Amino acid sequence: MLTSLYPTPARPHEGVFAERRWARMLARGHDVRVVHPLPRASRLLGPRPWREIAAAPPHEARDGLRIARPRYLHVPRRARANAHAFAACGLRAIDEGPPPEVVVADYAWPAAMAADGLRGRRLAFVVHGRGSDVLQVSESDTLRPLLAEALRAAGHWCAVSEDLVRRMDALAHCPGRGVLTPNGVDLELFAPRDRAVERSRLDLPPRAPVVLVVGHLIQRKDPLLALRAFALWAGERPDALLVLVGRGPLRGALEVHARELGLAGRVRLLGELPPDELAHWYAAADALLLTSQREGRPNVVLEALASGLPVLATPAGGTAELLEGLPGSLCEQRDPRQLAAALASLLASPPAREQLLARARAHSWEAGLDALEGCLRRALDGKSLP
């Protein structure tokens, strides 16, 4: 598995969805090796993210998976050259290990750029789309043709949502070629719990409405829109709390806007949390609010549903696929007043818990892994593009 997005000791939540998938493939009896090329960086110089990259060990074992992290030269604002450098670095690392039967670019960009090199080595190659690795790249006039060419060279692709599959099909000019390989949800970890117990554990007021936002604090997730919508709704609920789980460059702006809106004491920014801690927050909250501009197929929605937590979201990407048909769960307008009204309606009349749990149960890991295995077999059988 070749990827640019995978957990490291300093960034344990980065790409954790991929780790979950491949640990389960390992448990199914597959021999899985992860190649995770990283830019060269200094442990002493540069901003915190670069120091964290520098601290990643060159070799590691996580959940039984072997991970190699070779280094390549990354030049700022040179996306095309960096993609080629990433691919060349990844190919060298693949060559240094036992020959694989199939290589998966699990996070399409820039790993898809290895397509030509793998074809020359006569190795089957599957490009796996996750979200911004397809959506953001396809909006770039410079990078879109490169991804399209890489898909055609690979001959096989899959993605976590139907929306992404269609986009990849369109990029490659081959409708119907892609395969849906959705993520699953851990139904043992994310499950309904006693709300009173969880609120006591987290030091939350027993009856105050708690709205949860989970995701990176970045523009694509638009947490500022969630804050504005909460402020409009919470004007009539002075006890309501907004809890944001995640880290990112918008943290400072969120703190400033919360003070300006008079919500400084009612907005909590927790940073990143491991899954076992996050599960307690799902169980204690009253609603999950997701205001993304773009999405692949958000795991946080599945985790919330499995916890019996109602969700209000904008219908970005694969989000609508998960929530369609659940009353009050989608808000078509990216407008804070519309979102505030929808939030009030959802909290006043949420879907039945059994509806939420049934939706989550329909998205098991086993079904997604079956689909992925089928896609890999197709690539191994040599069924390529005409």
Query: What is the mean pLDDT of each successive set of 10 residues along the chain, which is 386 residues long?
Result: 96 89 96 97 81 94 94 93 97 95 96 95 95 92 96 96 95 95 92 96 95 96 97 92 96 96 94 94 98 91 97 93 94 95 96 95 90 94 62
Q: List Cβ neighbours of 291 (8 Å cut-off, separation of 6 or more).
A: 213, 221, 222, 223, 225, 226, 229, 313, 314, 334, 339
Count Cβ atoms below 10 Å from residue 233 Cβ, excluding itself. Answer: 23
Nearest to 58 by CA among 31, 33, 35, 42: 35
Nearest to 101 by CA among 177, 16, 1, 186: 1
3-state secondary structure of 209: coil
Q: Which two tokens stand for residue 140?
A: 């770039």
**pTM confidence score:** 0.86
pLDDT at 384: 53
Q: Which two tokens stand for residue 41?
A: 């960086």
Please give the domain boundaries of the chain with CATH numbers for all domains: 16-184+365-380 (3.40.50.2000), 195-361 (3.40.50.2000)
Q: What is the DSSP letter of 235?
A: T
pLDDT at 48: 83
Q: Is the distance from CB of 96 to CB of 58 less than 8 angstroms? A: no
Q: Give the ranges where the chain is alpha helix by DSSP (H).
A: 16-27, 48-55, 79-96, 108-111, 115-120, 132-138, 144-154, 162-172, 195-201, 223-234, 251-260, 275-284, 299-306, 319-323, 336-348, 353-361, 365-380
pLDDT at 46: 77
pLDDT at 41: 87
Whole-angstrom distance, CA of residue 253 vs CA of residue 57: 33
Q: Give the ranges where 263-364 is alpha helix by DSSP (H).
A: 275-284, 299-306, 319-323, 336-348, 353-361
Count Cβ atoms below 10 Å from residue 337 Cβ, excluding itself. Answer: 12
**Sign of CA pseudo-dihedral 291, 295, 300, 304:** positive
Q: Which residue has the tokens 């692949």?
A: 296
Whole-angstrom distance, CA of residue 57 vs CA of residue 68: 8
Beta-strand pair 65-68/59-62: antiparallel
3-state secondary structure of 25: helix
